[in-house]
Amino acid sequence: MKQAIQQKAIPGIIGGLGPLAHIEFERRLIAFNAERGISCDRDHPVWILINATDVPDRTQSLLGNAPSCTPSLVKYGKMLQMAGADFLVVTCNTAHGFYQAVQSQLDIPWIHLMDVTAAFIQSSYPESSKVGVLATTGTLQAKLYHHSLSALGFTVIAPSLEDQLQQDIMNAIYHPVWGIKATGIEMSPTPIAILDNAMTWLEKQGTEIVIAGCTEISVVLKQLKYNSIVDIDPLDILAHQTLDLAFGHQDIPIIRHLQKRGNREQGTGNREPTPRPSQEGSN
C-alpha cells in the first residue's frame, strides 16, 4: 500500500561514528521507504546529517581511556536541532552510553536504539526468552542492551568482558589492518571468521535471537546464516522507526524534562522527570 507522502517531522542523524554507520543507515532509509510504495524521488523524506568523525572513540571514552563523548554529541545534537530537526537518531550503539547526559541538554528527543530494538523483539518474537548480544566492550560494560532487554523480561547472553572471544570481537571491529573499521566495504575474511565463531558460541548457549549491537558487526552478520538463531539488526529497526516518525505514523516521544518545564510555566507542573524520554509506540 502506498504511504502518505506528506512528511510530518525531520530526522536529524549523527553519523560518522564508524565510517559505514550512517551510509548503511541512509541506504536502509531509502530502501525501506521504497518498499512502502513511492512514485518519485521527492517521496523520500528530508533528513539532516552530520558526519561527526571527530567524536572521541566511544568504547575508550566509556572505559575512561579517552575524553567524554558528551560535549561533542551535545554540540552536534544542538546543531541538528537549530537546523530544523524534530528528533535525533545516532547510528552508533556505543554512543548510547552517553544518552542521559546528552538528552538532558537537548530540546528534541534522541530515539533510544536499545529501547526500540527491545520493544520490537518483544512484539515480534513474544515466545522467545534468550537474546544474545554481540557488541563492543563499551556497549557490554555499560549494559546498554542488558538494561532495555531485562526490563522486558529477556535473559541476555553475551561474552564476558575478559573472554578471548570478546577480545577477538573487538579485533574484528578495530584491528588497524584487517578490522572492519579499517577496511570498510572491502571485508577481510578474518573478522568474518571471528563473528562466525561468536555466532556458534551463542548457538551453543541456547540463544534464540542475536542482536548485532555494532554497525560493523551487522555488516558481517548479514553474510552469515544460522537456521536456529534469528539475527536482529538494530539499524533496520531504527530505520523503520525513523520513517514512521518522519511521516507521522507514530508520535514523536515527549521529553520529560521539557514536559515538566512546560507544566511549570502553566502553573501545573509538580511531577519528577524520568531519566529517559518515553519511547511509547516504538514497535
Q: 190 with 244, same domain? A: no
Q: 154 with 181, same domain? A: yes
- Which of 213, 234, 255 finishes a domain? 234
Nearby residues of 272 by Cβ (< 8 Å), 6 or more positions away? 260
pLDDT in 10s for each residue of the chain, 283 residues: 454 569 999 999 999 998 778 998 999 999 999 999 888 889 999 999 999 999 999 989 998 999 999 999 999 999 999 999 999 999 999 999 999 999 999 999 999 999 999 999 999 999 999 999 999 999 999 999 999 999 999 999 999 999 999 999 999 999 999 998 888 777 899 999 999 999 999 999 999 999 999 988 988 888 887 778 999 999 999 999 999 999 999 999 988 766 554 554 454 443 333 334 444 443 3
Q: 184 with 142, same domain? A: yes
Closest CA to 140 of 157, 118, 120, 119: 157
Domain encompassing residue 34 = 11-112+236-265
**Looking at the domain assignment, is residue 272 inside a domain?**
no
**Looking at the domain assignment, is residue 86 inside a domain?**
yes
Q: 44 with 131, same domain? A: no
End-to-end CA distance of the chain: 19
pLDDT at 216: 85
CATH assignment of the domain containing 99: 3.40.50.1860
Q: What domain count does the chain have? A: 2
**Looking at the domain assignment, is residue 19 inside a domain?**
yes
pLDDT at 260: 53
pLDDT at 269: 42
Q: 128 with 97, same domain? A: no
Q: 241 with 229, same domain? A: no
Q: 256 with 208, same domain? A: no
* Positions marked active-site: 92, 214
**Looking at the domain assignment, is residue 138 inside a domain?**
yes
Nearby residues of 239 by Cβ (< 8 Å), 6 or more positions away? 25, 28, 29, 32
Compute the distance between CA of residue 158 and CA of residue 261 in angstroms, rounded to an integer: 40
- Which of 234, 249, 274 finishes a domain? 234
**Looking at the domain assignment, is residue 125 inside a domain?**
yes
Q: 82 with 147, same domain? A: no
Q: 93 with 63, same domain? A: yes
**Looking at the domain assignment, is residue 271 inside a domain?**
no
**Block residue for cell numbers 553519523:** 15
pLDDT at 113: 97
Residue 8: Cβ-neighbour burial (10 angstroms; 0-12, 13-18, 19+) = middle
pLDDT at 184: 74
State pTM to two decimals.
0.85
Q: 151 with 210, same domain? A: yes
Would strands 209-213 and 11-15 be described as parallel, antiparallel, or unpaired? unpaired
**Looking at the domain assignment, is residue 62 inside a domain?**
yes
**Block residue for cell numbers 518519485:** 40
Q: 182 with 84, same domain? A: no
Q: 54 with 90, same domain? A: yes
Compute the distance between CA of residue 31 and CA of residue 260 in angstroms, rounded to an integer: 38
**Looking at the domain assignment, is residue 6 inside a domain?**
no
